[in-house]
Amino acid sequence: MGKLVTIKIDGKEIKAEEGSNLLQTARDAGFDIPGLCYYDKVSPSGACRLCLVKIDGMRGLTASCTVKVNEGMNITAFDEELEGHRKAIVELLISEHKLGCMTCEVDSGCGLEDLAYRYDVTVDNLPFPARSEHLPVEATSPVILYDPNKCILCERCVKACYEIQGKGILSFAERGIDTYVATDLGGLWVDSNCDGCGECIQACPVGALVEKPSIGKARKWEITKEETICPYCGVGCRIEVEKKGNEIIRINGADGPANDGRLCVKGRFGYEYQMNDSRLTTPLIKENGAFREASWDEALDLIADKFTGIKNKYGSGAFAGLASARCTNEDNYVFQKFMRAALGTNNVDHCARLCHASTVAGLARAFGSGAMTNSIKEFEHADCILVTGSNTTETHPVIATYIKNAVQKHGAKLIVVDPRRIDLVKYATLWLRQQNGTDVAWLNGMMNVIINEGLADEEFIRSRTEGYEDFAAVVKEYTPERVEEISGIPKEQIIEAARVYAQAENGSIVFSMGITQHITGTDNVLSVANLAMLTGNVGKLYSGVNPLRGQNNVQGACDLGGLPNVYPGYQKVVDPDVKAKFEAKWNAKLDDKVGLSVTEMMDGAGEGTVKALYIMGENPMVSDPNLNHVEASLKKLDFLVVQDIFMTETTQFADVVLPSFSSYEKSGTFTNTERRIQLLNPVLDPPAGTRDDWQILQDISNRMGYKMNFTSAEEIMEEVADVSPIYGGVHFKKLGVEGVQWPCKTDDENDRGVLYLHKDTFSRGLGHFSPVDFIPPAELPDKEYPYMLSTGRILFHYHTGTMTRKVSALNSFESGPYAEISPELAETLNISENDDIRITSRRGSIVTAARITDKVAPLSVFVPFHFAEAAANRLTNDALDPIAKIPELKVAACSVEKA
């Protein structure tokens, strides 16, 4: 906070922070100065002139939104002259405005309408003629409608797109009375680079920009608003849901700790699935190969009977369960308690195995904790950000906006290391394009340069770490020349990147599945940790190692023990003291062996050792590698239970399907990628016939004789706090809007957890350097399969598409599968845009549409994994990282031909 100064407004003395915005200050002090172009999230433009005031010592009238507060300012905010000017401006605006208030979406929530009312301006009493000619409405975007006739040219949308979202799609085109808001080079909105985040709509003070899917659905006064957390990615944006009755009308960004009101297209427009007709509303039991509806009692009794039979016949080891990265912490806690205490097995895992198992393994070894070291908003203040293996713009869109802000507003240097020309490359100082799967090599190469040029942080190494000597001996072998040979990155670029990162005051590393989904995933993560420790870029504000977690609650599902080797709070199942503690708390005999991972469960099912599988809200029939193998395994099971909100590719193999709640209907908590535990609000009533996930599990457990009697999510969290020290201080009543970031160990109201980890000392004590040698991927292109195949996510869809593919707005951006190939490859194989191509690997084959783009490297193919009908995972390799058991989803060899 800056110095406090005293100013006077209309004779009243006010204390304000020096340099703060005058209009904001005045408004905060109760002076209702009008103004339409001022928007506190962007720089002031002074365009509308409504906020005019008189300031002693300044000539004429000044737009207060463009003035910074100074000691002793004496301001007139209201007098006859000022109010006269303001009224005249409103008259001018009204004369040029298409007055369609009675059918306008923002009627009774419109800045201009409010001022017309306040200054008593109507079309009949205008001193000049109203504009009669109307420009055409631009409605080509799937989600946005722009009516230039309602546009007051305040520039808020233009600034929101550039200054908040970092995209700069919008500008004012033409001049004077012809000015309008244009996209990119003035073409149609739908053809522009606009990705539909809707930040511009949220910024518009009038009805010139509106959400297309909401048009005609409700008048403002029929709407009630409630806040909760976005159901999609791990950023954990806070959303404001506008609803009429039990129907969502629109979603706005709310001021949450992770998003400051920002959203991406999924968070804002991805809600339609919630009311889809195909929501499951009754339990289903499979009989003679077909599902029939059943009552809850019948379905739950059947499961309890079957499970008891299997337990008696084959023992606890015959069970396995997939917890869920989409369900709440409370659901996951009850899930693993059910598996461990009621069924007696540690065979619990979930799809985190497929994304960040290697992060957890690697960072636990290096630092003692596997989570993001820093917080999302710290990215804006890092002076160097190294992004590798993360297409942040598409996978964590709101995090990408902070990275762009860092570059555009604060001059941060961005280094992107990625085989694909991802969107962030446009913002980067340096882009290193490595051969897929050569990460250890280039990371060692950078560290080789850093050590040789004396850029290492010796003090940090000496006082905070161990294992340096062995590590340095290995790195020595990785000269830039040798690394260029392995990775294909020119040695000059490796040297330059090393210098930029090492010389940064606050270097931050961001990574995601491009680093983790390899047989060397753990090695890659260890190398990333080495790089941060070598330069002392960890354990500081703004500076650290930041794995971005994919799904809304994948962090929480791990934290709450949805893993085969740990109880909630990463307490090891093989530790006898820990086991004794949980046996006492849970009053049950527990398994002392590490359980099966996702891929091992599938193998077990295939081999007949796993007899029963319980899946809560996951869809392995699309998400797992080598689907042909998964399919064969699921078919061999004696009994499969799936809890979900829709039928999925996986439920078709189930014996019983149980309908549950969607995120918008849930109470409980999600833990986002920055370790922040946030409270959900049940903003909608669930469909009749559904039950919450944890309730279903509790009912089965009770039927099997292991008693649980939770009556609310809050009660579950109380038990979590009791058994898991890192959640020890987490209580619903303490969470509020800000939430807390684990570790949060005390009940003290002021203990909001930890913003950044490893300050002064690492979780494990000393940071541990690991010597890591380069190992090539399990499968590389050869004569038969000459191209490099990679998979990943895209902005408009989420995971296996069970939710996003039921949203028409998202489908109109991207409706089905495709494969990216380079112009070079297209030419060689004589393939044109949208031609059907067949992609084949050693494990399977798919046919999909070709998209020709220089995003991918010349001999590479990229296939998004969301689409079941051309599932990338029919092709992917299930070769595993030996430590983390994560499959090598990012590299496979394939062939391509015209289909």
Query: What is the strand order of the sheet 668-671 is part of?
Result: 668-671, 676-680, 740-741
d(CA 562, CA 335): 8
Tell me whether strands 668-671 and 676-680 are parallel, antiparallel or unpaired: antiparallel
Among 34, 44, 46, 267, binds ligand SF4 (CB under 6 A): 267
Q: Which does 854 bind (CB under 5 to 8 A by kind): other proteins, ligand FES, ligand SF4, none?
A: other proteins
- Of 269 and 769, which has the nearer Cβ to ligand SF4? 269
Asked if 874 and 845 touch (Cβ cutoff 8 Å), the reply is yes
Residues that bind ligand FES in the complex, under the rule CB under 6 A? 23, 35-38, 46-51, 63, 65
* Binds other proteins by CB under 8 A, chosen from 168, 682, 771, 844: 168
Long-range contacts: 177-183, Cβ < 8 Å, 24+?
A: 177/96, 179/153, 180/135, 180/148, 180/151, 181/146, 181/148, 181/151, 181/157, 181/208
- Across 90-179, the runs of DSSP E, i.e. the strands, are 144-146, 170-173
| Only segment of 146-154, 542-550, 595-603, 832-840 that touches ligand SF4 (CB under 6 A) | 146-154
Residue type, 504: A
Q: How far apart are CA 5 and CA 523, in angstroms?
A: 55
Does the protein bind ligand SF4 through residue 612 (CB under 6 A)? no
Nearer to ligand SF4, 226 or 466 (CB): 226
Q: What is the DSSP letter of 284?
A: E
Q: What would the 3-class secondary structure string for 550-596 be? A: CECCHHHHHHCCCECCEECCCEECCCHHHHHHHHHHHCCCCCCCCCC
Q: Of ligand FES, ligand SF4, other proteins, none, which one does residue 182 interact with (CB within 5 to 8 Å by kind)?
A: other proteins
Show contacts with other proteins in window 519-548 (CB under 8 A): none
Q: Should residue 429 be labelled a site residue for other proteins when binding is judged by CB under 8 A?
A: no
CA-based R_g, the chain, Å: 29
**If contact means CB under 5 to 8 A according to the sort of partner, which of ligand FES, ligand SF4, other proteins, none does residue 191 touch?**
other proteins
* Cβ closest to ligand SF4, residue 405 vs residue 597: 405
Smaller CB separation from ligand FES, 48 or 566: 48
Decide if residue 415 touches ligand SF4 (CB under 6 A).
Answer: no
Q: How many helices (H) and strands (E) does the chain have?
A: 28, 37
Tokens of 234: 């791990």
Q: Is 827 in the site for other proteins (CB under 8 A)?
A: no
Of 291, 172, 351, 266, the closest CA to residue 873 belongs to 351
**Smaller CB separation from ligand FES, 36 or 803:** 36
Minimum distance of other proteins from residue 252's CB (angstroms): 24
Among 167, 758, 768, 843, binds ligand SF4 (CB under 6 A): 167
Q: Return the number of the residue (115 or 403) whose C-beta is nearest ligand FES.
A: 115
The Cα–Cα gap between 432 and 353 comes to 28
Between 30 and 705, CB nearer to ligand FES: 30
Our finding on whether 803 is near ligand SF4 (CB under 6 A) is no
Interaction between residue 177 and other proteins (CB under 8 A): no
* Burial class of residue 637, CB neighbours in 10 A (0-12, 13-18, 19+): buried
| CA 828/CA 835 separation, integer angstroms | 14
Q: For residue 433, which of 418, 414, 445 has the smallest C-alpha distance?
A: 418
Could you say which of ligand SF4, ligand FES, other proteins, none residue 383 binds, taking C-beta under 5 to 8 angstroms by partner kind?
A: none
Q: State the residue number with the nearest CB to ligand FES.
A: 35
Which option in other proteins, ligand FES, ligand SF4, none does residue 280 bind, with CB closer than 5 to 8 A by kind? none
**Residue 263 binds ligand SF4 (CB under 6 A):** yes
CB of 169 to other proteins, least distance (A): 6
CA distance 794 to 686: 29
- For residues 779 and 891, the answer to whether their CB atoms sit within 8 Å is yes
Q: Judged by CB under 6 A, which of 236, 561, 668, 687 binds ligand SF4?
A: 236
Q: Residue 169 or residue 821: which is nearer to other proteins going by CB?
A: 169
Strands 571-572 and 676-680 come out as unpaired
Specify the residue, 283 or 550, whose C-beta has the smaller distance to ligand SF4: 550
Choose among other proteins, ligand SF4, ligand FES, none what residue 171 binds, the Cβ cut-off being 5 to 8 Å by kind: other proteins
Question: Of the two residues 97 and 167, which places its CB atom closer to other proteins in the complex?
Answer: 167
Out of 105, 138, 163, 199, point to the residue binding ligand SF4 (CB under 6 A). 199
* Pairing assessment for the beta strands 348-349 and 319-322 based on DSSP bridges: parallel
- Least distance from other proteins to the Cβ atom of residue 199, Å: 14
Interaction partner, residue 195 (ligand SF4, other proteins, ligand FES, none; CB < 5-8 Å by kind): ligand SF4
User: Per the structure block, which two tokens stand in for 581?
Assistant: 């503690």
Q: Which is closer to other proteins, CB of 104 or CB of 200?
A: 200
715 binds other proteins (CB under 8 A): no
Among 58, 135, 173, 215, binds other proteins (CB under 8 A): 173
**In the set 10, 298, 505, 854, which binds other proteins (CB under 8 A)?**
854
Q: Report the distance separating Cα 291 and Cα 652, nearest Å.
A: 9
566-567 and 571-572 strand pairing: antiparallel
CB of 179 to other proteins, least distance (A): 9
For residue 871, give the nearest of 630, 616, 560 by alpha carbon.
630
- Within 10 angstroms of residue 324's Cβ, the number of other Cβ atoms is 27
> What distance in Å separates the CA atoms of residue 526 and residue 662, rounded to the nearest whole number?
37
User: What gap in Å lies between CA 517 and CA 524, rounded to an integer?
Assistant: 10
When CB distances are held under 5 to 8 angstroms depending on the partner's kind, the choice from ligand FES, other proteins, ligand SF4, none that residue 175 binds is other proteins
Residue 683 binding result from ligand SF4, ligand FES, other proteins, none, given CB thresholds of 5 to 8 Å by partner type: none
Structural contact between residues 741 and 751, judged by C-beta atoms closer than 8 angstroms: no
184 binds, among other proteins, ligand SF4, ligand FES, none (CB under 5 to 8 A by kind): other proteins
Residue 426 is a binding residue for other proteins (CB under 8 A): yes
Q: Collect all residues with Cβ–Cβ distance below 8 Å to 532 and sequence separation of at least 6.
A: 507, 509, 538, 544, 545
Side-chain half-sphere exposure of 509, counting CA atoms within 13 A? 31
CA 791/CA 769 separation, integer angstroms: 30
Least CB distance to ligand SF4 at residue 693 (A):
20
**Backbone phi and psi for residue 183, each to the nearest 5 degrees, phi listed first:** -105, 145
Count of residues that bind other proteins according to CB under 8 A: 23
Choose the binding region for other proteins from 113-121, 182-190, 726-734, 787-795 (rule: CB under 8 A).
182-190
Q: Which stretch binds other proteins (CB under 8 A): 34-42, 166-174, 266-274, 719-727?
A: 166-174
- Residue 856, contacted partner among ligand SF4, other proteins, ligand FES, none, CB below 5-8 A by kind: none
| DSSP conformation class of 378 | G
**Residue 266 touches ligand SF4, criterion: CB under 6 A:** yes
> CA-to-CA distance for 354 and 189, rounded, in angstroms?
37
In angstroms, what is the minimal distance from the CB of 12 to ligand FES? 21
Q: Is 821 in the site for other proteins (CB under 8 A)?
A: no
* From other proteins, ligand SF4, ligand FES, none, interface partner of 38 (C-beta below 5 to 8 A by class): ligand FES
Q: State the residues that interact with ligand SF4 by CB under 6 A.
A: 144, 151-157, 160-161, 165, 167, 169-170, 181, 194-200, 203-204, 206, 208-209, 230, 232-233, 235-237, 259, 263-264, 266-267, 397-398
Q: State the residues that interact with other proteins by CB under 8 A.
A: 158, 162, 167-175, 182-187, 191-193, 426, 853-854
